[in-house]
Amino acid sequence: MSEHLATAGLLELWEATSGATPARRALALLAAACPGTSAEDLAALPLGAASQLHLELHRRLFGDILEAAARCPHCGEELEVALAARELLGAPDEPPVPSEVSARVSAEGDELRLLARPLTTADLLAVETSGEVEDAARRLLAGCLLEARRGELAVAADELTDAEQTAVAEALAVALVAADPRAEIVLDLGCESCGGSFRQPLDPATFLAVEIEVAAHRLLRQVHVLARAYGWREADVLALSPQRRRIYLEMVGA
């Protein structure tokens, strides 16, 4: 962990993400991963690129290994899972996510040709800001739809029937994940207790936010102990290197 983010910087990042909505939390973590980049540019990144930046930030702060727990849906056994962030990251020579994705869907006897752009954090923010949770996934996908055509006729999103909107959302979900596979990271897990297998989604931003919260609480406890023992201010404790803090904590028996 970098020296700055091991102390006051980590607390600032925790305060920026604690209690925030998922999309705003993800955007705050992107800002920490790419200081100097505008919020607009970060929000416009495809979700897969955002996930990679979140994973890279985890590597900088806490190392390459992601330690998590998952509960087997078959027997209820809790599994300990250790993942290497580098294995979830894309290869350096991997082709970039296309700016436009096409798909075809049949609904109510007609074929619709679709053109969409990859989902972004800005799309997630728009859905959160609207405050409308009903059919959020469908509205999220509709927001990235650039064009729908029935034959040679362009069809506006609000002209699609309910059945067509559902079919379009399903088709876009498949096409967009295929074009931007890290937009939705799903782990294939197996349970040694019952032999069952299941799939578990992983959101790097949420995982990283939890790690930051745990580290921030641990750091605040250290400040509390040393402030009581020596009468130091928070800034005095945070100015110490992690090694010095550890030794002082050992001296006071914490």
DSSP per position, 213-245: HHHHHHHHHHHHHHHHHH---HHHHHHS-HHHH
Task: Give the residue-averaged pLDDT of 69-78.
Answer: 95
Does residue 232 lie in a domain region?
Answer: yes
How many structural domains does the chain have?
2
Q: Could you tell me if 77 and 191 are in contact, meaning their C-beta atoms sit under 8 angstroms apart?
A: yes
Cα–Cα distance for residue pair 13/30, rounded to 1 Å: 11
Last-in-domain residue among 155, 179, 203? 179
> Is residue 115 very low, low, confident or very high in pLDDT (cuts 50, 70, 90)?
very high
Instruction: Kindly state whether residues 23 and 77 are assigned to the same domain.
Output: yes
Task: Give the residue-averaged pLDDT of 111-134.
Answer: 89
Give pLDDT, residue 2: 46
How many residues does this entry show for the chain? 254
Last-in-domain residue among 129, 147, 179? 179
126 HSE (CA, 13 A, CB side): 15
Per-position DSSP letters for 35-65, written without gaps between them: TTS-HHHHHTSBHHHHHHHHHHHHHHHH-SE
Does residue 112 lie in a domain region?
Answer: yes
% of the chain at pLDDT higher than 70: 96
Does residue 1 lie in a domain region?
Answer: no
Give pLDDT, residue 129: 86
Give pLDDT, residue 70: 94
Give pLDDT, residue 165: 87
Does residue 2 lie in a domain region?
Answer: no
Per-position DSSP letters for 140-188, written without gaps between them: HHHHTEEEEEETTEE--GGGS-HHHHHHHHHHHHHHHHHHSGGGSEEEE
Does residue 29 lie in a domain region?
Answer: yes
Task: Give the residue-averaged pLDDT of 158-168.
Answer: 87
Does residue 55 lie in a domain region?
Answer: yes
Per-position DSSP letters for 101-140, written without gaps between them: EEEEEEETTEEEEEEE---BHHHHHHHHHHT--TTHHHHH
Rounded to the nearest integer, the mean pLDDT of the chain is: 91
> Is residue 133 very low, low, confident or very high in pLDDT (cuts 50, 70, 90)?
low
pTM, entire model: 0.89
Does residue 123 lie in a domain region?
Answer: yes
Give pLDDT, residue 1: 47
Last-in-domain residue among 149, 179, 209? 179
Q: Could you tell me if 14 and 74 are in contact, meaning their C-beta atoms sit under 8 angstroms apart?
A: no
Query: In this model, does residue 114 exceed pLDDT 90?
Result: yes
Compute φ and ψ for 95, nearest 5 degrees.
-65, 145
Give pLDDT, residue 3: 46
Query: In this model, does residue 92 exceed pLDDT 50?
Result: yes
Give pLDDT, residue 140: 86
Task: Give the residue-averaged pLDDT of 102-110.
Answer: 87
Give pLDDT, residue 96: 87
Query: In this model, does residue 5 exceed pLDDT 80?
Result: no
Mean pLDDT is lowest, of 20-29, 31-40, 77-86, 124-133, for: 124-133
Residue 49: give the domain boundaries: 8-92+185-251
